[in-house]
Amino acid sequence: MAPRRGPSSPSPDAARLLPPGAVEEFAEAAGGRFRVLRSTASGTGTPLLLIHGGGPDNAAISWYRAFAPLSVDRPVFAADLAGCGYTEDVAVTGTAAGMADQLAELADALGLGRMAVAGVSMGGEVALQFALRHPGRCAALVAVAPGGLVERLQGRYAQRAAWLATLLPDPVLRPLAALANRFVGAAVKRMVHDPSTLPAEVVAEMVREARRPGSGMAYGAYNKASIGPRGMLNNLLPEVGRITVPTLFFHGAADPLVPPSGSAGAAARIPGARLVLVPDCGHWAQLEAHGAFVDEVRGFLAG
C-alpha angle 266/191/292, rounded to 5°? 60
Bridge-based pairing of strands 32-39 and 22-29 is: antiparallel
DSSP run (H or E) holding 251: strand 247-252
- 93 within some domain: yes
Cα(176)–Cα(198) distance, rounded to whole angstroms?
26
Tell me which residue range forms the domain holding 290: 22-302
Predicted TM-score of the model (pTM): 0.90
**Residues in Cβ contact with 227 at an 8 Å cutoff, skipping those fewer than 6 apart:** 153, 159, 162, 163, 166, 233
What CATH number did the domain enclosing 268 receive?
3.40.50.1820
**Residues in Cβ contact with 238 at an 8 Å cutoff, skipping those fewer than 6 apart:** none
Cα(25)–Cα(46) distance, rounded to whole angstroms?
20
- 219 within some domain: yes
Q: In what order do the strands lie in the sheet with 115-120?
A: 22-29, 32-39, 76-79, 48-51, 115-120, 138-144, 247-252, 274-278
Q: What is the DSSP string of 91-139?
A: -B--SHHHHHHHHHHHHHHHT--SEEEEEETHHHHHHHHHHHH-TTTEE
- 6 within some domain: no
- 41 within some domain: yes
- 1 within some domain: no
- By CB neighbour count within 10 A (0-12 exposed, 13-18 middle, 19+ buried), where does 243 fall? buried
- 209 within some domain: yes
Q: What is the pLDDT along the chain (303 residues), one digit of tens a residue?
A: 333 333 334 433 357 899 999 999 999 999 999 999 999 977 889 999 999 999 889 999 999 999 999 999 999 999 999 999 999 999 999 999 999 999 999 999 999 999 999 999 999 999 999 999 999 999 999 999 999 999 988 777 888 888 988 887 766 545 545 545 555 666 777 788 898 888 999 988 988 888 887 777 898 899 999 999 999 999 999 999 999 999 999 999 999 999 999 999 999 999 999 999 999 999 999 999 999 999 999 999 998
- 193 within some domain: yes
Are 149 and 119 in contact, with CB atoms under 8 Å apart?
A: no
What residues are paired with 142 via a beta bridge? 118, 248
**Residues in Cβ contact with 219 at an 8 Å cutoff, skipping those fewer than 6 apart:** 54, 55, 122
The total of structural domains in the chain comes to: 1
- 216 within some domain: yes
